[in-house]
Amino acid sequence: MPAAKKLPFLQLLPAFWGPYQQLARYLRPYKTRFALGLFFGVLAGLVNGIIPVVLYIVAGKGLPKIPSTGNFKLMEHLPDTSGISLEAKIGILMLIPAVVVARGIFSYLNSYCLAWVSFRVLRDIRTHLFSHLMSQSMAFFTQAKSGKLISRVMNDARMAQTALTSIAGDVVKAPVSVVVNIIGLVIIDWRFSLTTLVLFPICFFPVIFFGKKVRQAGKNEENEAGQMAVILQETFAGIRVVKSFAQEQHQVAQFDQSSLIQCRNSMKVRKSMEMVGPMIESVSALGVVLALVYVYYFHVDLVKFGALCFGLFMLYDPVKSLSRIPMQMQKCMASATNIFDLMKLQPAIQDAPDAVAITSCRGHIVFDHVNFSYSHDKPAVGNIILDIEPGKQYALVGASGAGKTTILALIQRFYDPQSGAITLDGRDIRTITQHSLRQHIGIVNQDTFLFHDSIYENIRYGRLDATKAEIEAAAKLAYAHDFILAQPDGYDTVVGDKGCLLSGGQQQRLAIARALLKNAPVLLLDEATSALDSESEKMIQAALERLAHGRTVIAIAHRLSTILKSDKIVVMDHGSIVETGTHRELLENSTLYRKLYQMQFHHHEEGETPVPA
Ligand SMILES: Nc1ncnc2c1ncn2[C@@H]1O[C@H](COP(=O)(O)OP(=O)(O)OP(=O)(O)O)[C@@H](O)[C@H]1O
Ligand SMILES: [Mg+2]
């Protein structure tokens, strides 16, 4: 395509077209309303364009003759109207409010329909983007900054929608208006119109030039908005750390810096957008000079001159809107590109096309020569061979960084091993749908996460269709019922952001109640390393025991009691399993276990005796 090489804008076309096509896909469900909006736009443009001609006719037919003065040969071209009755004249005069009202109605309907469509498109894009983000695997979320993702869903989608609305609003109305208006001007006096509009095409240059600038600046603007969201999100999420280290001013300074960059970016966008209007006005001013020169030489009558000037004046607004379209398009494109780049990402973990949704499981988990590394340089776990029998309790022990949490992540299929396989009841977990797999796994994490909602809703999260009685039963089993009733609003007490209105031990018991409610056959426990007071320690221990009953349990153990109760202990070191056996066997045979036992568990011994159930 040698022609395309010569014309750089042709090469740019796919870059424009791609995001637009994708946006257009979102318009499809609302195409009738959208077409209706465009249709009203055409009508509004038509009516707007014919106003000068209407004025010319009305002035000619509805007004008494005005005596001629100076250079203007007034009314000489207009037909004699003395024969027309007063009623008819009033009727003709009423044409002016009639067209203005019609224009108003059509403009309103045009804006209404397009706004209706664009807000629905915004909703669809946001929901689609959010659900696409939800489908991403854990690897994505450990890399991504959540503030940036929030900004993409909120700001970019909004920006694309705003730009889309204004483009759609103007894209037919303005050109129709301009064309009809110019035709009207030509009909009234073609020589005058040609003289004044000869400079018109010059307007395109600033539009193209500044349009490019808007795109780049718009992209920077959106990126910095993302950065601001990151600072906000991290500051609020980590407010305890911020306050403890007295770093409020540091956070404010960071935010202020980002805000300043944002201010400059927005200014760049604004400068480019606002530059175009005055440039067009300057060109128009030259047009006025030409118009006056024309009037001077060709003696135009006053009514015609008035109508022509009015027509030119009416041209200003749609031309200005028209000139904004390329900028709006550039802005829309910058945001749409950001959104669709995210939508293009394929989740690293996907269900196989023929994956089965399991409805029950015994909880027999086998690691068959599993090797896994987060990044390609260093394996996190290597050559894991482990047979976890159903209904038994396993304890994972090992130094920090030994790969214990990684084992739990692999069982939940947050990541796929690079080699080897993990099976559940003899079935490779890669052939099970992620949803059904995780439905059969209950987990109590090292750090509990509670939503800013009531205690009731937080427990219900384990199984959304649970009844009130089931939720209370779960709370009772988790030794949480009593402290819940002691809260100001009982089960309706709101726990605050991430559960901060409750103590650490209380939060953990809610998390256990949630896992109990889920009633899954496989239970993964990442025991908290943080020392709790012995009372809540005992309660949690007892709650966990109830939770473990009759299930396959894999617990990352930091408490002696967990270890003592386990059927088998798996000792990990540097990503490998070095030993398995019972507490007694390992104490006798394993030096590493003896060392771990001395360091981690032995000194806890006293406070660890569980409360009787
Ligand atoms: N998301 C991740 N991306 C990259 N590397 C990771 C990630 N999570 C863990 N690692 C690395 O994998 C190794 C095993 O980590 P893992 O979290 O499984 O240790 P652990 O045994 O649970 O330790 P701890 O007892 O301190 O919780 C560590 O070297 C760690 O640095
Ligand atoms: Mg861990």
- Per the rule left: phi > 0, alpha: psi between -120 and 50, beta: everything else, 383 is left
Render 33-57 in DSSP notation, one character per residue. HHHHHHHHHHHHHHHHHHHHHHHHH
Task: For tokens 């600038």, name the residue.
Answer: 213
CB 68 within 8 A of CB 316: no
The finding on whether 373 has its CB within 6 A of some atom of ligand 1 is no
- DSSP per-residue string spanning 64-111: -----BTTB-TTTTSPP-TTS-HHHHHHHHTHHHHHHHHHHHHHHHHH
Nearest ligand 1 atom to the CA of 375 is 4
For a ligand 1 pocket test, name from 367, 406, 529 the mutation site with the most ligand atoms within 8 angstroms of its C-beta. 406
CA of 522 to the centre of ligand 2 (A): 19
**What does the pLDDT read at residue 403?**
92
Contact 393, 567 (CB under 8 A): yes
CA 454 – CA 450 distance, rounded (Å): 9
Q: Is the CB of 405 under 6 A from ligand 1?
A: yes
Q: Is 151 in the pocket of ligand 1 (CB under 6 A)?
A: no
pLDDT number for residue 422:
96
**Ligand lying nearest the CA atom of residue 373:** 1
pLDDT of residue 13: 57
Angle in degrees, CA 397, 403, 408, rounded to 5: 85
Q: What is the residue with the minimal CA distance to atom 22 of ligand 1?
A: 405
Alpha carbon distance 177, 165 (integer Å):
18
With the CA atoms of 517, 518, 522 and 523 taken in that order, what torsion angle do they form, in degrees rounded to the nearest 10?
-60
* Residue 386 CB–ligand 1 contact under 6 Å: no
Closest atom of ligand 1 to 404 CA is 21
| CA distance readout (Å), 315 to 17, 128, 175, 292, 335 | 29, 41, 10, 17, 31
Q: 505 phi and psi, to 5 degrees?
A: -65, -40
Cα–Cα distance measured from residue 368 to residue 557, given in angstroms and rounded to the nearest whole number: 23
Tokens of 151: 């900004």
Q: Please state, as a whole number, how many other Cβ atoms lie within 10 Å of the Cβ of residue 173.
A: 29
Residue 19 burial by Cβ neighbours in a 10 Å radius (0-12, 13-18, 19+): buried
Query: Ligand 1 centre and the CA of 247: distance in Å?
Result: 28
- Give residue 576 CA to ligand 2 midpoint distance, Å: 15
Bridge partners, residue 581, by sequence:
569
Binding site membership of 53 for ligand 1 (Cβ less than 6 Å): no
E strand intervals along 451-521 = none
Please provide the size of the chain in residues.
Answer: 613
Around ion ligand 2, residues with a beta carbon closer than 5 Å are 405
Beta carbon of 400 within 6 Å of any ligand 1 atom: yes
Q: Is the CB of 121 under 6 A from ligand 1?
A: no
Distance 267 CA to ligand 1 centre (A): 45
Give the number of the ligand closest to the Cα of residue 414: 1
What's the confidence (pLDDT) of residue 444? 87
Q: Write down all domains in the chain, each with its CATH number in brackets.
A: 20-344 (1.20.1560.10), 390-413+434-608 (3.40.50.300)
Beta bridge partners of 356: 432
Ligand 1: which residue has its CA nearest to atom 17? 405
Other CB atoms within 10 A of residue 435 CB: 10
Quick check: CB of 402 below 6 Å from ligand 1? yes
Q: Is the CB of 143 under 6 A from ligand 1?
A: no
Dihedral of CA 398/403/409/411: which sign?
negative
The DSSP call for residue 349 is: S
| Ligand 2 centroid to residue 398 C-alpha, Å | 10
Strand arrangement of the beta sheet that strand 419-424 belongs to? 381-388, 365-372, 419-424, 427-428
pLDDT along the chain (613 residues), means of 10: 46 64 88 93 90 83 54 46 72 86 93 92 93 93 91 89 82 89 88 81 79 80 88 91 93 95 90 82 81 81 82 82 80 85 91 93 93 87 93 90 93 94 94 94 87 93 93 90 92 85 86 90 80 68 79 87 86 92 89 85 50 35
Q: Are 536 and 503 in contact (CB under 8 A)?
A: yes
**What's residue 336's pLDDT?**
87
| Beta carbon of 401 within 6 Å of any ligand 1 atom | yes
3-class secondary-structure state, position 359: coil
* Cβ–Cβ < 8 Å for 541, 561: yes
Structure tokens at 348: 């690293």
The CA 128 to ligand 1 mean position distance, Å, reads 32
Share in percent of the chain as helix, strand, coil (round to 5): 65, 10, 25
Instruction: Tell me 365's DSSP state.
Output: E
Place of tokens 């006096």: 189
CA distance 283 to 315: 13
CB 575: neighbour CB atoms within 10 A? 21
Distance 417 CA to ligand 1 centre (A): 15
Q: How far apart are CA 540 and CA 534, in angstroms?
A: 10
Q: What is the pLDDT of residue 246?
A: 92
Q: What angle do CA 542, 543, 544 make, to 5 degrees?
A: 90
List the residue whose alpha carbon is closest to atom 25 of ligand 1.
Answer: 400
The candidate with the shortest Cα–Cα distance to 47, out of 184, 193, 194, is: 184
Q: Rg of the chain's alpha carbons, rounded to an integer?
A: 36
CA of 565 to the centre of ligand 1 (A): 26
Sequence-separated (6 or more) residues with CB below 8 Å from residue 104: none
CB-count exposure of residue 557 (10 Å: 0-12, 13-18, 19+)? buried
pLDDT at position 460 is 95
Alpha-carbon distance of 267 to 269, in angstroms, equals 5
Question: How many Å lie between the centroid of ligand 2 and the Cα of residue 394?
Answer: 16
Which pLDDT value is given to residue 530? 58
- Say which residues have a Cβ less than 8 Å from residue 381's Cβ, sequence separation at least 6: 370, 371, 372, 403, 406, 407, 410, 575, 576
**Site to substitute for ligand 1 among 378, 404, 407, most atoms within 8 A of C-beta:** 404
Ligand 2 centre to CA of 527 (Å) is 9
